[in-house]
Amino acid sequence: MVSADRLLAFAVMSLLVIVIPGPSVLFVIGRALAHGRRTALATVLGNVVGSYLLVAAVAFGLGSLVERSVTVFLAVKLAGAAYLVFLGVQAFRHRKDMKITAVRPAGRPARGDLRTVADGVLVGCTNPKGIVFFAAVLPQFVDRAAGGLPAQMLVLGLVPIGIGLITDTVWGLTAAAARGWFARSERRLSLIGGAGGFAMIGLGVTVAATGRAD
């Protein structure tokens, strides 16, 4: 299995990559500002599930195909970008419903939790940053002489997933707490809902415009 030194080295590498906010972090912040803490936490859960699907894809060979093929990589990237823009447009269109969302009882969320998690999964597994990291960096930390490469990758992949779960949760809760101040004013709440929508649209455009140069 994976040695302790490889786990530690990969953890350090993962932390260095994760501390730089990418599409997943910005998506969580946007959803927290637009919909609040519950949606933010469900989004975080979806993101980590989607990211671990990338780990599994790399472990079983699909990730390398995506990383090597410009066409496949572009298709995945544009699909994720388009979905981010769609969610941003929806958030902006419904920004005036924010007051209703803010006072809704805890047992009746504005969005279905499963749908929110599914949104996060889609964004997590189409995140270009995650695709490149897991396809290009993860395989470098396995011990090929020890065998069981898929199992090693699945174990190693839990490291950035765990780090991301913690950091994304902190980002989401912080953004949701800031939203509480805006909730005291219907106008401010509408503005923050629109800002969250614009943030997701901008993130989608950024994802579509950046990435591999080949």
Q: Average pLDDT, whole number, for the chain?
A: 76
Q: Is the pLDDT of residue 161 over 90?
A: yes
Secondary structure, 3-state, 70-134: HHHHHHHHHHHHHHHHHHHHHHHHCHHHHHHHHHCCCCCCCCCHHHHHHHHHHHHHCCHHHHHHH
In this predicted structure, the answer to whether residue 138 has a pLDDT above a threshold of 90 is: no
115 vs 76: which has the higher pLDDT: 115
